[in-house]
Structure 1
Amino acid sequence: MSERHAYRCTMGATLLDPSRTLFRLWAPTCTEVSLLLEGYPDLPMHVAAGGYFECIAPVEAGARYRYRVGPDLIVPDPASRAQPDDVHGPSMVVDPRAFEWRSTQWNGRNWEQAVIYEVHVGIAGGFRALCDDLPRIAALGITAIELMPLSEFPGGRNWGYDGVLPYAPESSYGTVDDLKMLVDTAHRIGLMVFLDVVYNHFGPDGNYLAQYAAPMFRAGSHTAWGAAIDFRIPQVRTYFLDNALYWLMEYRFDGLRLDAVDAIPERDWLVELLVHVRACVEPGRRVHLMLENRNNDADLLRRGFDAQWNDDGHNVLHVLLTGEHEGYYGNFQAGTACELAMVLRDGFVFHGQVEPVTGQPRGSPSGDLPATSFILFLQNHDQIGNRAFGERLDRLADPRALLAAYALLLLSPQIPMLFMGEEWGSTRPFLFFTSHNAALGRIVRDGRRAELAAFSHFSDPAVRETIPDPNDPATFEASCLPKSDRQSARAQDRINLITHLLALRAKWIVPRLRDAHALDARAIGQAAVIARWRMNDGAVLTIMLNLGPHAQADMPPCADRLVYAHPPPDRGKGTPVVLSGYGVMVFMTGDGHG
């Protein structure tokens, strides 16, 4: 059995039958637009309501086309489904029903089962290479892979946040059908696939929209990455709503991670997106929506978004593990163990207080939310790659403390996320890399070095010159992860630990996780905490964690089952215990197993 899937977008090239295609472009700044099909004369497009232009042409899948939007300006389709010759080349008509989906019984997985593995597809070798690696990833106990953004970007090396054609999968990674095969294969072995999408800005090269669709951008408003998108305009809202549904319905992704939604002032559009997705997805199919949101807007989670990346949680743990305190880590210098307790109890640290670094209040109360509303991580693409030299935690932290932190990450009720290579303790960097044209590449390189001048280590211009050039191909190559790195004894030990902890999570935590809430959490030392959660069957999960070298004596007695401990406890059941330096103990009390 097989299935075929297509989502009809408002814009773009829509195959009406095998030999006819409807072309539709939003170009409100233009008075006339022509369709340029390779091998055909220019075809004038008709004006339609709302600033759209459209026409039907006798062409089939594979036809290449562009639009003439001015006497001297020819552009690709901003809703292009495929862009085989990069961002400045022609777009290509795609037949979405040409691909036969084999995973016909797949309806996703419950959110409580999520263990996320963040992947950069280029570092993984492209869609086909990542597809081949899926069984290894699943064997760890991972249940979802999250792909960094795939929208067509300039060149072949980029994190993906410089995408300019949001509907076209990056051509350097493979074909449209290669991506569908990746998702289909993942589903057949029980893996969800999430996609990171960027709706807050376009990249700096290859975005022509301002020249023929000026209302796409909000005059006088900018984000940290470029002109702000104007979500007050109905056609703009539709363009991005369609994009979300296109990935979910046509490519069958199991969820989306919305990048930096704090840069989208129209919060109501996020709610509209949520409503549209829930209404359009087939009954019984589980699709999940995640946020990155510096605003810590807990109400969006109450309205139905599944979870938010817990940057507060990462930042607290990073300071405890490394002692670093510059930049945004300066918000977590004082009483860090107390702040870790807040993360475990409330999810966010900042829920309305003033940040020391910015002097501004941030966040809203979040303690009523279930623990699964927060995605916890020790590393991700941002937190590694935005460092000057892309160092991973295995180069920065005491290995004993790091192993204890992994027990917290993988056994706490918050949803855990790992970054590619983390499962074997990779020490290779993950650097910021691009493949811009030479002029833009110099601007990016110099701008990045100037930003880092604010850090004491890079105050010397000579030191800043040693920061890798993002546009140098060697920067990308240094970030790649050869398979041979997984073969060392140290790598195998880390793989075994991650696999063991995820097996414990699947057995002890996941079946009890729906609506699990924190009972309490408190600091019990400079770098130690104890936290308890009420699980959905009435059991109480207790985690005692010590990220410092000094033992914590006379801890509260814990009855019932010891789920995990490292090192093994030296006291008997029901008596006060000693929590060793760099130790962790996980108990389940009242679990009904006697």
Structure 2
Amino acid sequence: MPAQACRYGAILTERGVRFRLWAPAAQRVEVLIGADAYAMRPRPHGEFERVLDVPAGTAYRYRIDGQAEVPDPASRQQQGDVEGASMVVDPGYPWRHPDWSGRPWKEAVICELHAGCLGGFEGVRRRLAAIREAGYTAIELMPVAEFPGDRNWGYDGVLPYAPEASYGGADALKALVDEAHELGLMVFLDVVYNHFGPHGNRLNDYAPWFFRADQATPWGPAIDFRRAQVRRFFIDNALMWLDEFRMDGLRLDAVHAIASPAFLKQLAQAVRERLPADRHVHLVLENERNTAAFLRGIARAQWNDDGHNALHVLLTGEREGYYGDYAQDPLGRLARVLAEGFAFQGQRDRHGRRRGQPSGDLPPTAFVLFLQNHDQVGNRALGERLVALVPEARWRAAMALVALCPMVPLFFMGDEWACATPFLYFTSHPAELAAKVREGRRAEFAAFSAFASPERRARIPDPNARATFEASIPREEDAAHAQAARRWFRGLLELRARELVPRLEPCRPLGCERLGDAALAARWVLADGSRWTLAFNVGERAVRFEAPADGRCLHWEAPGDSAPVAGLPPASFGAWHGPGHA
């Protein structure tokens, strides 16, 4: 795909800069550059176009019907914030590693991180060597598309093509990717194609048909993927990140809010057709509906929320909110995840809705397993990480399960040193919207027993306060403890890379045995016919367990000097590798 081969936006061509906008509700559109206005030529299907001889760096806006002045929805860079002028961008970049072709999916061990909390794109770039040293093979950036203000999780983005200016812009992001590739790290990007943020989106001024009034989402009217122009807008955006920015993959946020399975299929097909066949490019979904069909030819994998939710209930006993679906039998839910992929494969949830499809035929690598991510930490009222909620020995047992499970493991920034810094929900909205978000967030937790009273809800940090963002920057509270945690974490990932990854594809589950109320043993047969066994106990009592007699014990940890063959004491974990059986 040639650089900037996008249908919309300000694109450098041999004839000059081609400005193109889809504005089906407009009668007249102009490009504004300084004090000059240039009428755009109407085209079929509501498009407007004008070619101008202007250089890269030119600031511009569109004027709709002589009144509203708006930024380009396909802006590649903003002059200021989301309401400022858009900028013409030269996509050229002096890549030092243009021949990087990525890594196979089975090698992925992912660190999800927030660029703003780590000092922007340059701050992340400076940390890449330490991230690799921890044992990670990939980073996953939370969304970086231009959002209002300079502090945000990224899911309030309104200009999907423009890397957030407060993080450093396009060239700084490319430098980050280039450095990651030099270190052998993949870079995945979280993209939001299911909604726009609540401030700065001007599409309704000239393209209300971008949305459909007959279908609502938690963020407002659904995006109308039935329209070819809308599909092209987002597919071109995905191709831009993968080709122009050389990302190794995309995580598609909340695809259950995209009411068009055909769009996902078309996007995956476009990626296959436009990018070189020798590149390893990975599409990963977030999908509450557990649509197993999407994992048979459309996407490489899905975030396995079932696995996290079952583990969280098992470890904490929490049962409110969406954890209610796992309250009755969290161990059984987790056992099904390890043996079959999804826990919900068509069963009814707590609201009586059927959720999921059978997934037992899918390989373990079709699922991304995690103990926590930005959602399950930041969507807590006080942003507590799991290591701050449960004894560290039990946390370590669950971390080891994630690290050595044949599913693809994902960890949240700081997990490698047992970081206990909270990760709170933060924004930098204008005052009126900020007040609504603050009160809305506090009202959201009114149904939770810990925040039933107004006084308790008042303790929930104000998302718009700078202090809330600053409190979320990962810190090492105890250097010696952090160093020991890093050695332990690195050991797990070295074991995974050495013993499991070379034998990971194909891999198939052999079942999962319940050993008690909070203990289990799961087994898989690996590509060479050998067996992989994981056992853990996060309960209060020891349970009976016979370690595989013909298997090598690769990892064992438990309080005291408990032997790995005598059973599973509380807060214990073991991993074994042995020969297969006829």
Aligned to 2:6: 9
Partner residue of 1:233?
A: 227
Whether the 8 Å CA contact 1:203–1:226 is kept in 2: the answer is no
Q: Distance in 2 between matches of 1:182 and 1:67?
A: 32
Residue in structure 1 matched with residue 26 of structure 2 by the alignment:
30
- The residue number in structure 2 matching 1:580 is 569
Deviations 1:398-441 (A, max 9, x none): 21111111110100101000101111111111000000000000
Matched-pair contact (CA < 8 Å) for 2:525–2:580: no
Summarize deviations over 1:224-246 as a string: whole Å, max 9, x none. 01221000011001001101101
Runs of 4+ in 1 over 2 A off after TM superposition: 553-558, 567-572
Does residue 358 in structure 1 map to residue 351 in structure 2?
Answer: yes
Equivalent residue in structure 2 for 1:512, among 500, 503, 513: 503
Within a 5 Å distance, the mapping from 1:554-573 to structure 2 comes to 554-555=545-546, 557-567=548-558
In 2, are the aligned partners of 1:560 and 1:587 still within 8 Å (CA)? yes
Counterpart code for 2:271? V
- Name the counterpart of 1:169: 163
Q: Distance in 1 between matches of 2:547 and 2:130?
A: 40
| Aligned positions of 1:461-480 closer than 5 A | 461-480=454-473
Residues 478-501 of structure 1, C-alpha deviations (whole Å, 9 max, x = no match): 11124xx17522111211111000
Cα pair 1:167 1:243 within 8 Å, conserved? yes
Deviation at 1:458, TM superposition (A): 1.1
How big is the shift at 1:333? 1.1
Q: Residue 579 of structure 1: SS of its match in structure 2? A: coil
Identity of aligned residues (%): 51
Cα gap change, 1:518 to 1:505, in 2 (>3 Å) = same
Q: 1:318 to 1:54 in 2, by over 3 A?
A: same
Partner AA of 2:33 in structure 1: L
Question: Structure 1 length normalisation: TM-score?
Answer: 0.95
1:557-580 superposed Cα distances (whole Å, 9 cap, x missing partner): 4313111111398568xxx64122
Match of 1:324 in 2: 318
Letter in 1 for 2:353: Q
Q: Secondary structure at the match of 1:526?
A: coil
Does 2:39 align with 1:48? no
User: Does the 8 A contact of 1:569 with 1:577 survive in 2?
Assistant: no
For the pair 1:89 / 2:78, whether they are aligned, the reply is no
TM-score, normalising length: structure 2 = 0.97
Contact 1:158/1:433 (8 A) holds in 2: yes
Confirm whether residue 418 of structure 1 aligns to residue 415 of structure 2: no
Unaligned runs of 5+ in 2: none
1:502 aligns with 2:493: yes
In structure 1, runs of 5+ residues without a counterpart are none
Aligned-residue offset at 1:5 = 6.8
Q: Once the two structures are superposed, what CA deviation does each residue of 1:49-71 show, in whole Å capped at 9, x if it has no partner?
A: 22110001110100000000133
Displacement of 1:20 after TM fit?
2.1
Structure 1 residues 389 and 486: alpha-carbon distance in aligned structure 2, compared to 1, 3 A threshold: closer
Give the root-mean-square deviation of aligned CA atoms. 1.6
CA distance in 2, matches of 1:554, 1:512: 25
* Residue 244 (structure 2) aligns with: 250
2:511–2:523 Cα contact (<8 Å) kept: yes
Alpha-carbon distance in 2 for matches of 1:144, 1:324: 31
Looking at structure 2, the residues matched to 516 and 397 of structure 1 have their Cα atoms a distance apart, in angstroms, of 32
Q: What are the residue-to-residue correspondences of 1:59-74 with 2, within 5 Å?
A: 59-74=54-69
Aligned partner letter, 2:270: H
Say yes or no: does 1:148 pair with 2:142: yes
Q: Secondary structure at the match of 1:553?
A: coil
Is 1:437 paired with 2:434? no
SS of the equivalent of 2:450 reads helix
- Return the offset for 1:384: 0.3
Tell me how far apart the structure 1 counterparts of residues 430 and 492 of structure 2 sit (CA, whole Å). 45
C-alpha separation in 2, matches of 1:204 and 1:520: 46
Alignment of 1:228-377 (within 5 A): 228-355=222-349, 357-377=350-370
2:173 aligned residue: 179
Query: Out of 391, 399, 420, which is 1:398 matched to?
Result: 391
- Separation in 1, partners of 2:89, 2:580: 53
Q: For 1:364, what is the secondary structure of its paired residue?
A: coil
Q: Note if contact 2:346-2:358 (Cα within 8 Å) is conserved in structure 1.
A: yes
Count, aligned residues: 580
Q: Do 1:486 and 1:492's aligned partners in 2 also have CA atoms closer than 8 Å?
A: no
Alignment check: 8 A CA contact 1:424 1:486 kept: no
Once the two structures are superposed, residues 436-469 of structure 1 have per-residue CA deviations (whole angstroms, 9 ceiling, x without a partner) of 0000000000111111101111110111111101
Partners of 1:10 and 1:376 in 2: how far apart? 36
Structure 1 partner of 2:420: 427
Is 2:308–2:370's contact at 8 Å kept on the other side of the alignment?
yes
Quick one: distance in 2 between partners of 1:57 and 1:317? Answer: 57
